[in-house]
Amino acid sequence: MAVSAVHGRASLPEGADPKEVAMKSKQQFYGKPGVYRIFNQVPNRFLAKHGKTLCRELTVQWQDTWLCKDHALFCRELITDAAGIAGSHSFRQG
């Protein structure tokens, strides 16, 4: 949602011909920069920063104490960081 809020389209493509509208929509999603190209950078940036993207690998130290406060705080920080990455204006546009 953060990627779309920052980088998404403001309105639906216009046109009378449904095929033309579909092509315009496809370009918005898959073109350059394209929302999907931007979105796909999120896990790569997260991986570069944290070294892993899988929850079970990121939280391995809390496997025996899953419901502890430290685990909850750690996860909250990861979620906040991921949202910040997604909402960043610094994505490469090409």
**Has residue 35 been placed in a domain?**
yes
- What confidence score (pLDDT) does residue 58 get? 96
**Has residue 50 been placed in a domain?**
yes
Mean pLDDT (10-residue bins), the chain, 94 residues = 68 81 80 76 92 95 94 95 81 52
- What confidence score (pLDDT) does residue 62 get? 95
CA 3, CA 89: separation in Å to the nearest integer? 9
- What confidence score (pLDDT) does residue 14 get? 81
- What confidence score (pLDDT) does residue 94 get? 45
Instruction: Give the count of domains, the chain.
Output: 1
Q: Which residues contact 78 (CB under 8 A, 6 or more apart)?
A: 50, 58
Domain that holds residue 21: 2-86
**Has residue 93 been placed in a domain?**
no
**Has residue 94 been placed in a domain?**
no
**Has residue 45 been placed in a domain?**
yes
**Has residue 57 been placed in a domain?**
yes
**Has residue 63 been placed in a domain?**
yes
